[in-house]
Structure formats: C-alpha cells, structure tokens
Amino acid sequence: MLSCTVSFLSLHSQGPVPRSRITELARNKLDKLRK
C-alpha cells in the first residue's frame, strides 16, 4: 500500500501539480486509511 503511494508520488511529481500539493493529498489518503 505504501509502495503504491510512493509510485503515485513519483508519477505525479513530474506533472503540473506542485509537489507540496501532492504530498498533502498523499497525507490525506494515509490519514483516511489509518482511520
């Protein structure tokens, strides 16, 4: 599950979306998964 997030980050980090925004989204996803 974590590797999926990492690949998701590396995939989109080259896109138009800022990296900080992606990190924010990833954190939100992880928070939802924990609950």
1-35 tens-digit pLDDT: 566 676 766 665 556 666 677 788 888 888 888 77
Contact 5/30 with Cβ under 8 angstroms?
A: yes
Contact 3/11 with Cβ under 8 angstroms?
A: no
Please report the pLDDT score of residue 25 as a whole number. Answer: 84
Please report the pLDDT score of residue 16 as a whole number. Answer: 64
pTM (two decimals): 0.41
Please report the pLDDT score of residue 9 as a whole number. Answer: 65
Tally the domains of the chain: 1
Write out the residue range of the structural domain in which residue 19 sits.
2-34
